[in-house]
Structures are given as structure tokens and as C-alpha cells.
């Protein structure tokens, strides 16, 4: 053990590797938990011990074997993903043992990573877990994906699907900060209560216990819908289209209802609505805003300090439960941001 290390590396590095391409909803057997050797950091590298792992909807796309906006994770690869770690051994002047960092070393307990450019987190400013949530990718996804693409104006009606998730729960609050009328859609009564009682949504409904989405949306959006932030797609989004107002904007952030389908699902054609309402429907991947990350972090942190923004983390304990957490998140078991404490 190096003189600059803290804690015990124990020599064993547990990893989750992709074992099979999932068909439909991923199963635990699609991943294998293996014991690797804890790597030795090279010159300029640090050895990090994973503290928090992120499980996110986009990961479902990475394991299909199809190149989308990023290369797929291959069978036998350590599953990709963001993580917060603590430096246990350093061969770089930039980081010291004990430092917290944000990185993309995936689902493993230890990693040897290049120190240069690795974002260092200050636990005095915010809990380090927020770097995977409200002050990280999901937070920036909500901030830029909603504000830049939807361009909301005060008084407009905003509908958010997946409204109790890591991203959606922030979008609804940002929409309220901007003076909009906000309607959230989520899949549990407890989530609906959280949205309306704690996060300030004007109304919300549980799509699992609502039969007529269209009638419900019409009632909750008497002036029509100006902005739609979509995390789910499918039947919920079908019901939104006919209620969109002229010059409405749709930010397509996720389509979680479609990710586990083996074949593209048919649905009602939407382009006539796009035409006659002059809608703008735009998809985005958060990387496109990466050069403006600082602006987003600064604003979100300020809203947090001012108490205008709340966030919630659902922490699953134990590295070995990462796959369970991932599958649970895909089924909507989380309220707010789903994390694994390794």
C-alpha cells in the first residue's frame, strides 16, 4: 500500500459487467458481479474508491448494442455510468487522498483514473452526492433542456411527464420559478403528493390510476399546453399533442416507456398536430450544453440556497444492489434521484 493512501483497498475490486443484451426490461442476470484486482494508479493517475453510483434512464440505451449518441457498452465491459469517488491513492499533484471527485468509471468499486481534468467536489459547498443529481447531469438536463428548448414565458402552462424523477422534479420547480402553471404526471400517489404538496406543482395526476389522460389533462390545463417536457413518451405523450397551443414547444428529454420495447411501437401520427399548431418538437442530449455547464450549476446552486428548489435522493445501500437499483429506477420505483451508496 502506498504511503499516500487512505482506507483499505483490500485488493479486490468488485465490478458489474454487462453479461447479456437485455430483451425488454433488464434482468439481474444481464449483469455479472465479478471480483477484479484493484488497479494500481499510473503516473498522473489517482486510485478512487466509489462512494456513490448513479443509475439513470439513459443507461438503458447504452446496453442495447446500438450506437445512438454514444458507443454502446459491449458484453464483458464494466457497465458505464457516472460516479462520485474519494481518492485513496494519488500519483498526481492535482489531487490528494481524501479528495472527492466526479468521474465516469462505471459500476465498480475502484478505478485508476487520470487526475487532470477530473472535477473535484467540495463537500462543504454541497453534499457530494448532488454532483450526480441536482448539481450534476440530471440538474443540468432539467435546467438547459427546459429553459433553452421550451423557452417558457410567465403564465404559460407547462406539463412535465416523469415529473417525480431526477430530472422532471427539477423541471417542474424551474417552471414554477419562471411563473408558469405546472402540471405533473407521475406513477404513484406518493409522488403526486410530493409534487403538489412540496414542490409547488399546481396539479399532478397518477397515470397508473387515471384512465382518460386526455380528459384529465384538459381539465388541469384549461388554457391548453404551451410547453411539454417529455421524459416518457407513449400514451401519455399521445394525449398531450392534441392539447398543445399554437407555437407550443416540446422538449424531448426521455422516452422511458419505449426503451424496453423490442420493436418500435405504433402510435397515432403526430405531425399533423405539429403542422397545424406550428409546434417545435426538439430532442436533446445534455452534452450539447456542456460549454454552459458553469452557468447552470451556478443558477441551480443559488436557487437551492434560496430555498426555491428542493431535491430528493433515493439512496440504495450497497454496491451489490446496483443492478436492482437500476431495474427499479426503470420501473419508476424512485422519487427524485436514484443513487447507490457503494
Using the minimum distance from each CB to a copy of itself, give the nearer residue, 11 or 267: 267
d(CA 338, CA 342): 13
Q: Which grid coordinates belong to 75? A: 458484453
Cell reading at 61 = 440505451
Grid look-up 391548453 returns 224
Q: Which is nearer to a copy of itself, 15 or 231 (CB)?
A: 231
CB of residue 279 to a copy of itself, shortest distance in Å: 5
Cβ neighbours of residue 214 under 8 Å, at least 6 residues apart? Answer: 239, 242, 243
Provide the minimum distance between the beta carbon of 295 and a copy of itself in the complex, in angstroms, as a whole number.
20
Q: Considering the complex, state which of residue 258 and residue 321 has its C-beta at the smaller distance from a copy of itself.
A: 258
Residue 69 or 123: the one with the smaller Cβ distance to a copy of itself is 69
Task: CB nearer to a copy of itself: give 282 or 314.
Answer: 282
How many angstroms separate the CA atoms of 308 and 173, rounded? 8
Between 4 and 273, name the residue whose CB sits nearer to a copy of itself.
273
Closest to a copy of itself by CB, 41 or 254? 254
Output the smallest distance, CB 50 to a copy of itself, in A: 28
Residue numbers at the binding site for a copy of itself (CB under 8 A): 61, 68-69, 230, 233-234, 237, 246, 252-255, 258, 264-285, 288
Shortest approach of a copy of itself to residue 252 CB, angstroms? 5
Q: Which is nearer to a copy of itself, 293 or 319 (CB)?
A: 293
Per-residue cell: 200:
409547488
The residues near 153 (Cβ < 8 Å, ≥ 6 apart) are 178, 180, 226
3-state secondary structure of 147: helix
CB of 127 to a copy of itself, least distance (A): 30
With a CB cutoff of 8 Å and minimum separation 6, the contacts of 8 are none
What's the min distance (Å) between Cβ of 280 and a copy of itself? 5
Compute how many other C-beta atoms are within 10 angstroms of the C-beta atom of residue 58: 19
Strand 181-186, strand 203-206: pairing: parallel
Distance CA(227)–CA(158), nearest Å, equals 5
Q: CB-based contacts of 313: which residues, under 8 Å, 6+ apart?
A: 129, 133, 336, 337, 338, 339
Closest contact distance (angstroms) between CB of 227 and a copy of itself is: 15
Q: Residue 260 or residue 321: which is nearer to a copy of itself going by CB?
A: 260
Least Cβ distance, residue 56 to a copy of itself (angstroms) = 14
What minimum distance in Å lies between the beta carbon of 94 and a copy of itself? 33
Q: CA 235, CA 38: separation in Å to the nearest integer?
A: 46
* DSSP strands (E only) in 2-143: 12-18, 31-37, 45-54, 83-90, 100-103, 110-114, 120-121
Amino acid at each position: 500500500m502506498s504511503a499516500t493512501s487512505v482506507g483499505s483497498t483490500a485488493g479486490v475490486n468488485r465490478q458489474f459487467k454487462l453479461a447479456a443484451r437485455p430483451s425488454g426490461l433488464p434482468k439481474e442476470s444481464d449483469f455479472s458481479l465479478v471480483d477484479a484486482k484493484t488497479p494500481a494508479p499510473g503516473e498522473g493517475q489517482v486510485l478512487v474508491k466509489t462512494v456513490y453510483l448513479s443509475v439513470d434512464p439513459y443507461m438503458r440505451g447504452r446496453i442495447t448494442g446500438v450506437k445512438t449518441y454514444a458507443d454502446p457498452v459491449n458484453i464483458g465491459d464494466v457497465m458505464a455510468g457516472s460516479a462520485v469517488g474519494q481518492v485513496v491513492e494519488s500519483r498526481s499533484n492535482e489531487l490528494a487522498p481524501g479528495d472527492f471527485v466526479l468521474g465516469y468509471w462505471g459500476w465498480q468499486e475502484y478505478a485508476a483514473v487520470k487526475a487532470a481534468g477530473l472535477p473535484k467536489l467540495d463537500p462543504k459547498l454541497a453534499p457530494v452526492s448532488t454532483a450526480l443529481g441536482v448539481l450534476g447531469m440530471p440538474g443540468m438536463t432539467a435546467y438547459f433542456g427546459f429553459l433553452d428548448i421550451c423557452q417558457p414565458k410567465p403564465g404559460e402552462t407547462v406539463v412535465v411527464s416523469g415529473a417525480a424523477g431526477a430530472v422532471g422534479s427539477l423541471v417542474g420547480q424551474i417552471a414554477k420559478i419562471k411563473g408558469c402553471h405546472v402540471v405533473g404526471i407521475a406513477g404513484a400517489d406518493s409522488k403526486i403528493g410530493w409534487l403538489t404538496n412540496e414542490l409547488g406543482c399546481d396539479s399532478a395526476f397518477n397515470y397508473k390510476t387515471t384512465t382518460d389522460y386526455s380528459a384529465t389533462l384538459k381539465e388541469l390545463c384549461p388554457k391548453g399546453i404551451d410547453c411539454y417536457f417529455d421524459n416518457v413518451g407513449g400514451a401519455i405523450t399521445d394525449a398531450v399533442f392534441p392539447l398543445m397551443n399554437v407555437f407550443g414547444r416540446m422538449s424531448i428529454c426521455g422516452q422511458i416507456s419505449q426503451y424496453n420495447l423490442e420493436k418500435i411501437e405504433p402510435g397515432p401520427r403526430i405531425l399533423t398536430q405539429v403542422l397545424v399548431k406550428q409546434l417545435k418538437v426538439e430532442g436533446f442530449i445534455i452534452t450539447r450544453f456542456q460549454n454552459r455547464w458553469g452557468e447552470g450549476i451556478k443558477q441551480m446552486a443559488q436557487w437551492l440556497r434560496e430555498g426555491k428548489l428542493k431535491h430528493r435522493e433515493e439512496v440504495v445501500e450497497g454496491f451489490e444492489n446496483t443492478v436492482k437499483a437500476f431495474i427499479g429506477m426503470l420501473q419508476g420505483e424512485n422519487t427524485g434521484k436514484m443513487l447507490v451508496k457503494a
